[in-house]
Amino acid sequence: MEHEDLSRKIIGCAMAVHSALGSGFQEVVYQRALGIEMTIQGLSFGREVEMFIYYRGHEIGG
């Protein structure tokens, strides 16, 4: 899948969740709903995946 197509699909999932739920819920509610929507759309993903972050060769977080 091209990056543009993938981006469009992810944004579409986020918009679907927002349209269905609106605003005002805790972040975890949107995370769970987005996970459901992405699964329905056939997208694989990971939630809160730990990543190592480097600045000028030094690890600064992760």
Q: Please tell me the total count of domains within the chain.
A: 1
Cβ atoms of 42 and 48 closer than 8 Å? no
Cα–Cα dist 14/38, whole Å: 9
pLDDT digits (tens, 9 = 90+) for 14-44: 999 999 999 999 999 999 999 999 999 999 9
| Summary mean pLDDT of the chain | 96
As a whole number, mean pLDDT of residues 5-19 equals 98
| Structure tokens that stand for 54 in this block | 């480097």
What confidence tier does 2 reach under pLDDT thresholds 50, 70, 90?
A: confident
Range of the domain at 53: 3-61
pLDDT band at 62 (very low <50, low <70, confident <90, very high): confident
What single-letter amino acid sits at 10? Answer: I
